[in-house]
Structure 1
Amino acid sequence: MSSENATILTNSSRWPLMIDPQLQGIKWLRNTYGDQLIVLRSTQKNYLDRIEHAIANGNVVLLESIMETVDAVLDPILGRVLIKRGRAIKVGDKEVDYDPRFRLILQTKLANPHYKPEMQAQTTLINFTVTKDGLEEQLLGAVVKAERPDLESSKAELTTQQNTFKITLKVLEDDLLHR
């Protein structure tokens, strides 16, 4: 997973929606968050209660295997519709205290899903689908790392710089727009 995708998963103002047919993204998330990741499915009996608990405690929730539509009760969460001066969020008929550390990550196994425009506006799509070009790039990286580690470390350093510059550019653009 690229560091750009890692930044989107942790710092975006919209919830990440992972298109992950081969489950590579879930594997990465489990390695990254470990036991702190709460994994739920909308088919589980008490999943809404567990989401409410996670919202109040600032946990990271992975809602896996969603389809092209999600339960309407999740709309206020997806839209981050906060009430009472940003301190609570309505889930169903309950008001739940909102901890700003709360993160919701959505995942689908569908290879080419079609979501409603509202859903796309509330999420950032991250496509983890493995492609031939992606595999070739990974294999080339492994060969270069074995034969020319100096070039691989230089590439890693330049990639880190490029991502830092992208983040800085985004922050500066946001700052300029808020003036």
Structure 2
Amino acid sequence: EWALEGLPSDELSIQNAIMVTRSSRYPLMVDPQGQANRWIKNREKHRISQNPGMCITTLTAKNLKDQLEFTMGEGLCLVIENVENEVDPLLDPVMDKAIIKKGKNLYINVSDQNMDYKEKFSMYMTSRLPNPHFSPELSAKVTVIDFTVTLKGLEQQLLGRLISMEQKSLEDTLAALEEDVTNNTKSLQLLDKQLLDRLSNSQGNLLEDTELI
């Protein structure tokens, strides 16, 4: 699935993707070559397409607070590009996930303002600096992930490109098969969930429920 989203297939990129998707903290990606940024934008293209102007930003954007409020309230994603060594303190309560619950509603207090927060909200930060010096305080609030391409990773990526150029038909077939496997896996997961829901809500003798069988 990650390869279909444009993630390079070398070992380091895959390990980094696991950290991005599994970490409980928001990722801050060291990304001199821009590969992580491209992957995230492809991965989140459906949410970004709903309002690109609000979902992609920089720390110097004049409307950063408005973008943050909008994406958190709508459960979208916020991609902050070109981060340098420091991050705006405006983001501190968001990075801390200082969520306030009032009844059924969730909020995060940003600059003395309670902003709506949806659990689907995601935030990604990328830095083009090859050797950034993030403060210990910032590093404790986020998951710093180094996407800098190594020599071994570059060799693996170039080999993959060479194979795709020389055996394009096989590469296209493989890509199509990978997409089919991904789609079929998602379908099976959905069917499993529907079956479990039916079983948990079923009443009476299961053997007499012909539709369920």
Which bracket does the TM-score occupy, shorter chain normalised? Answer: 0.7 to 0.9
**C-alpha separation in 1, matches of 2:113 and 2:69:** 9
User: TM (normalized to structure 1)?
Assistant: 0.73
> Are the counterparts in 1 of residues 30 and 126 from structure 2 also a CA contact under 8 Å?
yes
Q: Which residue of 1 aligns with 2:39?
A: 28
Provide the residue aligned with 2:20 in structure 1: 9
Q: Does 1:99 align with 2:99?
A: no
Are the aligned partners of 2:82 and 2:127 in contact in 1 as well (CA < 8 Å)? yes
Distance 2:71 2:126 in 1: 17
Tell me the residue number matched to 2:138.
Answer: 119
SS at match of 2:69: helix
Change (3 A) 1:140 1:117: same
User: How far did residue 141 of structure 1 move?
Assistant: 4.5
Map 1:44-55 onto structure 2 (within 5 A). 44-55=61-72
CA offsets 1:1-59 (integer angstroms, 9 cap, x no match): 34443333233210011111111111112222225231111211111111111111111
CA separation of 1:17 and 1:90: change in aligned 2, threshold 3 A = same
Structure label with greater radius of gyration: 2
Report what 2:183 is aligned to: none
- What is the alpha-carbon root mean square deviation over aligned residues? 2.4
Gaps of 5+ in 2: 1-6, 8-12, 49-54, 175-213
Structure-1 separation of matches of 2:151 and 2:84: 26
1:84 partner SS? strand
Name the SS for the 1:73 alignment partner.
helix
Secondary structure of residue in 2 paired with 1:40 = strand
Tell me, yes or no, if the aligned pair for 2:16 and 2:146 is still in contact at 8 Å: no
Tell me by how many angstroms 1:142 deviates: 5.2
How many residue pairs align between the two structures? 150
Instruction: Kindly provide the CA deviation profile for residues 107-145 of structure 1, in whole angstroms up to 9, marking residues without a partner as x.
Output: 111111111222112211221212222111223445678
State the distance in 2 between where 1:93 and 1:17 align.
25
Matches within 5 A, 1:71-86: 71-84=88-101
Deviates more, 1:67-76 or 1:34-43: 34-43
- Which residue of structure 1 aligns with residue 147 of structure 2? 128
Tell which deviates more after alignment, 19-28 or 80-89.
Answer: 80-89
SS of equivalent to 2:145 = strand
2:128 is matched with 109
Amino acid corresponding to residue 39 of structure 2 in structure 1: W
- Contact 2:79–2:124, Cα closer than 8 Å, also in 1: yes
Aligned partners of 1:45 and 1:143: how far apart in 2?
44
Read off the aligned partner of 1:92 and give its amino acid letter: S
**How high is the TM-score relative to the length of structure 2?**
0.62
